[in-house]
Amino acid sequence: MERPYILHMLTPGSHMSPFDVNMAADAGYQVIVPYCGVDAKATAGLTQDAIFSRGPKGVARTGLFIGGRDVQQAADMLDAARKAMVPPFVVSVFADPSGSYTTAAAMVACVLSQLRKVHSTSLSGKRVLILGGTGTVGRIAGVGVMDNGNPLAGTRAVGIGALAVGNVKYQVQHRLLLRMRNADKPVALSFPEAFELACEVLAEPS
């Protein structure tokens, strides 16, 4: 009998995001186990418990996902997990606290895509103004949630709505989970990989 795909989901918070659990299930993980109240120190111990119990072949079907709400803490946990592994007992690990890596990657990739399409330029040499909203998604006046390059009246600007960004974010997170599950060799995934993939998603024919 083939060993099941297991994803151990670590978070410093009191609960793991149901969004991330759903994404893991849809990516084909058969056993999904959340661990709450986990910090970088605990990450090392949990990582070694996960890798040494399955053998070199079993670790290929084992993954770690790091959530939470603190970007720096997630980076520290990712680093702790990688340092705790002992070849050949190495598993894939993916950090995406509150979806911030995949969402930020999708947002910047969407902006770059529209800059190229509408203004034939890039972010290079530009001054960027970032305005805070009331939540992690934010609110921009006159921009519809589904807008994707829609002109803003009276300006040369275009709008990119929250759900347009969210669609790219969803695809990026799903594909990274698949990449982790299907990898021939263990991978470590965070913002750089998410951004590269977001750009690839937007470059695909619609």
Domains in the chain (CATH in brackets) are 6-100+183-190 (3.40.50.10280)
For the chain, what is the mean pLDDT?
93
Burial category of 103 from C-beta neighbours within 10 Å (exposed 0-12, middle 13-18, buried 19 and up): buried
- Tell me: the pLDDT tens digits for 156-184? 999 999 899 999 999 999 999 999 999 99
Residue 206 has pLDDT above 80, yes or no: no
**3-state class (DSSP) for residue 145:** coil
pLDDT in tens, 112-153: 999 999 999 999 999 988 876 666 555 676 788 899 999 988
> Cα separation of 38 and 8, whole Å?
12
Tokens of 104: 């930020």
pLDDT number for residue 143:
85
For the ranges 14-18, 127-131, 136-140, 202-206, the one whose mean pLDDT is highest: 14-18
Per-residue pLDDT at 95: 98
pLDDT (0 to 100) of residue 134:
60
Mean pLDDT of 64-74: 96
What stretches of 35-146 show up as alpha helix (H) in DSSP?
A: 40-52, 55-58, 71-84, 100-119
Question: What one-character-per-residue DSSP string does 61-82 give?
Answer: GEEEEE-SS-HHHHHHHHHHHH
